[in-house]
Structure 1
Amino acid sequence: MSDLHCPRLRSRGAHRRNSGVATMKWLRTLVIFDQGNIVSNQDWESIHQAFVRSIESIDSPTGSGRLVLRRKTYVPESKQWNRNGVGFLRNRFLEHIVQKEGWKAEGEVDLQNLQEKPELQLYPSLEPYAEPITSSFGAFDFVTTTEGGLRVAIEWETGNISSSHRSLNKLSIVLAANKIQVGVLILPSRNLYEHLTDRIGNIGELSPYLEMWKRMGETVEHGLLAIAVVEHDELTDDQTFPYLKVGKDGRAGEGKTKRNAPNPKPKKESS
């Protein structure tokens, strides 16, 4: 893993934080693979600075200039934890990169031709076999094209660790097909993960598999795959401070349902 690296950013006025303002932290960008030296491309620097500024624009309460999150708390009755939702962070990021940075969201990448069935082999007959494809890749959170023609896809992690694996797999496959030239996954640090929706994907759990995705770069002719790691600025134990809203689907909804469920009635003892 020693050659995973973070690109150095040139200082620009638009990128500097205002003195005394503390918003969401961009910790680092890991370049998993870079075929074609895209990291030295001015277009990469432009989109990188744009998504870093978009990350650092996220604050809570909105307009405060600071990203403060309520620390997780245990609920003995349900044996669940109260944590912050992730949809708010993703939505604020997308709003800023489109409305403030001026990047145009282009919708979906055409993945139709990537759904071809590979020729496999059955055992023990050794006959050729093509397994039916019964699910699709799904859309990316944000797709745009730079002035120099680089197609960029960005995913902001809102799901569990399985979702993170799917995102990196999907980005790698689309990079290999040259449908995009830059793929970025934004996900929480281990510290931030502790205070977000149950089992949210995070860099700590993903780190043992980075070598695998690095090797997938050998199938890419011209493309860059990166992970950006983000973190809150501050935690509070103030009981009047609200948690970020939790969604109703997936693990978030499951945890919310358990927390809000009424206590089960004790069973009567048999005589």
Structure 2
Amino acid sequence: MKALRTMILFDQGNLSQTVDWANLYESYIRSISHIDHPIDSGKLTIRRMIKKTKSQSAQRNGVQFLRRRFLDYMVKVEKWIPEGKIHYDHDTNRSAIQLYPPESINYFEPITSGFGEFDFLTQTTNGMAAAIEWETGNISSSHRSLNKLTTLLSAGIIKIGVLILPSRDLYTHLTDRIGNIGELSPYLNFWQSFGNTIQSGMLAITVVEHDELSDDPNLPFLAVGNDGRAAEGKKKTQSHEI
């Protein structure tokens, strides 16, 4: 698999010029480059999407294989610790909300949902907290991941946030409605604008893509997962999976 580009949406404090960022970046880029199919082939070759017919839905590749290979390499070779939890005090990091008609009290909407875990959370050599998310959910999940990272950067809880997600070309051959840079692109200015509110912090997006496409019927589609959009697609069609 290849990393097409890494976009820095904001970098307050020139963190992208530090050795800590260089080491972190090189680590997860190595992990991306080791995602291959067939395994041990040295490159990621995936089946081209087969367009749907009257009797069968389109056949596409699942995403869990890609995420699993990334996590495995990060943990086993790069020695990262997965599923890091963030301790974020919502009550001390929010502002009162104005009500209409106006009331004399300050209103705070109750927080009923947490952030959950990040794929990876680490401390750099110089003590900067960094979080990495590998996006395998639908497009709304991609928005949520960037919102999580931006909120924690604004609060000063992390210094570096990274989201990894498919290119538009890769998305075409994956489970329908998976998050991808094409559908996030109209909103990048929104997340960029948060850089003006942050004293020190960096938000980056790395876009990944397959190395080759194949029409070889003997090459299996990447396995489809059992949750969310993947499960819906799996019910509609039976594809050859690994």
TM-score by length of 2: 0.92
Give distance in 2, aligned partners of 1:177 and 1:199.
31
Q: How many residues align?
A: 236
State the 1:71 CA deviation. 0.8
1:188-243 Cα deviation digits (max 9, x unpaired) = 11100000111111111111111110111222221100000000001111112111
- What does residue 60 of structure 2 align with? 83
- What does residue 177 of structure 1 align with? 155
After the TM superposition, which of the residue ranges 217-226 and 122-131 deviates more from structure 2? Answer: 122-131
Matched, 1:114 2:90: yes
What SS is found at the alignment partner of 1:75? coil
Whether the 8 Å contact between 1:78 and 1:258 is mirrored in structure 2 is: no
After the TM superposition, which of the residue ranges 168-177 and 127-136 deviates more from structure 2? Answer: 127-136
- What does residue 142 of structure 1 align with? 120
- What does residue 78 of structure 2 align with? 101
What SS is found at the alignment partner of 1:136? coil
Whether the 8 Å contact between 2:83 and 2:117 is mirrored in structure 1 is: no
Matched, 1:26 2:31: no
Aligned-partner residue type, residue 247 of structure 1: G
Return the match for 1:228 from 196, 199, 206. 206
- What does residue 63 of structure 1 align with? 40
TM-score by length of 1: 0.82
Computed over aligned residues only, the root mean square deviation of the Cα atoms, in angstroms, reads 1.6
Whether the 8 Å contact between 1:75 and 1:259 is mirrored in structure 2 is: no
Give distance in 2, aligned partners of 1:204 and 1:78.
29
State the 1:134 CA deviation. 2.0
What SS is found at the alignment partner of 1:129? coil
State the 1:84 CA deviation. 0.8
Whether the 8 Å contact between 1:71 and 1:83 is mirrored in structure 2 is: yes
What SS is found at the alignment partner of 2:174? coil
Gaps of at least 5 residues in structure 2 are none
Give distance in 1, aligned partners of 2:158 and 2:42.
34
Aligned-partner residue type, residue 176 of structure 2: D
Return the match for 1:198 from 176, 201, 206. 176
Give distance in 1, aligned partners of 2:26 and 2:169.
24
Give distance in 2, aligned partners of 1:196 and 1:88.
11
1:130-170 Cα deviation digits (max 9, x unpaired) = 22222222111111111111211000010111111100000
Give distance in 2, aligned partners of 1:167 and 1:85.
20
Matched, 1:129 2:107: yes
State the 1:114 CA deviation. 2.7
State the 1:106 CA deviation. 6.9
Gaps of at least 5 residues in structure 1 are 1-23, 261-271
Runs of 4+ residues over 6 Å off in structure 1: none
Aligned-partner residue type, residue 132 of structure 1: P
1:91-114 Cα deviation digits (max 9, x unpaired) = 111111222123344721212x03
C-alpha distance 98-115 of structure 1, shift in aligned 2 (>3 A): farther
